[in-house]
Each structure stands twice: as structure tokens, then as C-alpha cells.
Chains A and B, each alone.
Chain A
Amino acid sequence: GENVEQHPSTLSVQEGDSAVIKCTYSDSASNYFPWYKQELGKRPQLIIDIRSNVGEKKDQRIAVTLNKTAKHFSLHITETQPEDSAVYFCAASPGGTSYGKLTFGQGTILTVHP
């Protein structure tokens, strides 16, 4: 089955700096890669996703890049703010009728210091 590795496990940055989280996956059949943000005690919420026919996608301060050949994808957050502090999860899915069949990475605890 699919295996997703996520690094780093913790990330501490100053407000205004950029943050980068990286993930690798093992199953070449995966073609949908969402990123979820989870605040303490709350549900995971999608912040951005990318499909395998796209190499990069951007939404305001958040961007995701995908390298299917190398089987890795990354989340980039620019101009970080204290409210960006949360746990971030990458995931991979085979798509098709199974977009929600997600294999998650271990999570990255992001702390943005004011």
C-alpha cells in the first residue's frame, strides 16, 4: 500500500518568514495530493490540493509543488502569521472514485512566533 513520509516533524519560524514542509510517497498510482491543517482539538481542514497533471498550484500565501518523477511534493507558506500555527498533514490518494481514501503523513507542528 501507499506510504507517505513527511518532514520536518516540527518547524519553528518567525512571523513573516517562509515555511516549507516536504513529503514523499511510494505508490506511483497516487494522483491526488491534499494538504490539511489541524488546529488543536479541531478537525483537519483542507488548505490546498494538487493533482498529478499539475506541477504547481498557488493560493495567496500558500503554494504546493509536485514532482511525480521523484514522488515528492511540498507545501510552501510565505509571510507566515501566528494564526498559521497548527499541525499540517500531507496526504496521497489514488483519486478516481477514491479521492477521500487518504494516506497521511505523520504531520508537522508549525509554530510561528510573533
Chain B
Amino acid sequence: DAGVIQSPRHEVTEMGQEVTLRCKPISGHNSLFWYRQTMMRGLELLIYFNNNVPIDDSGMPEDRFSAKMPNASFSTLKIQPSEPRDSAVYFCASSQAPGGGNTEAFFGQGTRLTVV
């Protein structure tokens, strides 16, 4: 398996533009997580899904952020409109719920977002 795949790897956009980050979890994993990493706030959980259903979005900073998981192999994180303070590395991670064996959360390579 190629692991968790995120795209794009780097994104530079102007303030006010819409940004969409994409994630393909490891095949067979049924939990998907979006994390954000900044120097100031470290690694923060934004939202997570179990079996494609959003379970906890309490970490989503504000209404400008939204996430979807239309099927088991794809998820998006959208920021509209983007602001300079959204600049960060966004990680997607996936794991398999207990009963399915491995519970480790595997991280993708991340998307480095810069909003200018």
C-alpha cells in the first residue's frame, strides 16, 4: 500500500481564495483524521470521520473550514475564504478501528499551505 496520500504537497494562495486539500486514506482503514501543525499551536485535531461519517468537528477553527468524506477512499478539507493565519501544514491520517487489527494512526506527507 502507498500509505495515506495527500495532495497537493504545497499550496500557495492569495488571501480570500478558496483552498481544497485532498486525502486518500489507506485502503481498508475506516477512520480518517485531519490535523493542522503550526509552530504556535503544535499538532491539533480538526475533525475526524468513522465509516465516512463526521464524528467530532470541535477542532475546526471556524465556519470557513469544512470537511467531507463522500466515500471510504477520499476526503477533502476546504477553506473558504482563506486567510494568512491559516498558513500551516495540514496532515491527514487514517487508522483501523479495533477489531480490525492495527489501531495506529498513519499520517500522510502533509500539505504545506501558505496564504499570502
CB distance from B3 to the nearest CB of A (A): 9
Q: With the chains together, A95 CA to B107 CA distance in Å?
A: 17
| Other-chain residue from A99, A105, A107 in contact with B105 (beta carbon distance below 8 A) | A99
Give the size category of B's interface with A: 20 to 34
Residues of A within 8 A of B105 (CB): 34, 46, 99-100, 102
Residues of B within 8 A of A42 (CB): 109
* Shortest Cβ distance from B92 into A: residue: A43
Query: Does chain A have a CB within 8 A of B75?
Result: no
**B42 engages A99 (CB within 8 Å):** no
Residues of A within 8 A of B (CB): 1, 32, 34, 42-46, 49, 89, 95-107
Q: With the chains together, A106 CA to B38 CA distance in Å?
A: 11
Q: With the chains together, A32 CA to B35 CA distance in Å?
A: 18
> Counting chain B CB atoms within 10 Å of each CB, which of A43, A44, A89, A96 scores highest?
A43
Q: A32-B103, A46-B104 are in contact. Are A97 and B98 (CB under 8 A)?
A: yes
**B50 engages A97 (CB within 8 Å):** yes
Residues of A within 8 A of B50 (CB): 97-98
* Shortest Cβ distance from A91 into B: residue: B43
Those of B30-71 within 8 Å (CB) of chain A: 31, 33, 35, 42-45, 48, 50, 55-56, 58
